[in-house]
Amino acid sequence: MPCPREDVVDVLSDGWLYGLWVVGATRIRAVEARWPAEGQRLHHSTGPWPLHLDDHTTVLASDLPDRLVLTARGWPWGQARIDIRLEEAPDGGTRVVMWEDVITGVMLLVPQPLRALLLGPRQRECLNRLEQLVLGRTGRRSPEEEDDDVEGRVHE
Residue 143 lies in a domain: no
Residue 116 lies in a domain: yes
Residue 48 lies in a domain: yes
Residue 156 lies in a domain: no
Peptide bond into 2 cis (omega under 30): no
Strands 94-104 and 41-46: unpaired
10 Å Cβ neighbour count for 58?
Answer: 16
10 Å Cβ neighbour count for 32?
Answer: 16
Residue 148 lies in a domain: no
Structurally, the chain folds into a number of domains equal to 1
Question: Along the 156 residues of the chain, how does pLDDT read in single tens digits?
Answer: 999 999 999 999 999 999 999 998 999 999 999 999 999 999 999 888 888 899 999 999 999 999 999 999 987 778 999 999 999 999 999 999 999 999 999 889 999 999 999 889 999 999 999 999 999 998 877 666 555 554 444 333
Three-state DSSP state, 35:
coil
pLDDT for 142: 65
CA distances from 102 to 15, 31, 145, 147 (A): 22, 23, 35, 38
Residue 82 is part of a domain; what is its CATH number? 3.30.530.20
pLDDT for 144: 62
pLDDT for 156: 34
Q: What is the pTM of this model?
A: 0.86
Residue 74 lies in a domain: yes
Provide the residue count of the chain: 156
Beta bridge partners of 96: 86
Residue 134 lies in a domain: yes
Residue 154 lies in a domain: no
CA distances from 57 to 5, 13, 79 (A): 23, 13, 9
pLDDT for 127: 96
Range of the domain at 94: 5-138
pLDDT for 146: 57
CA distance 143 to 155: 18
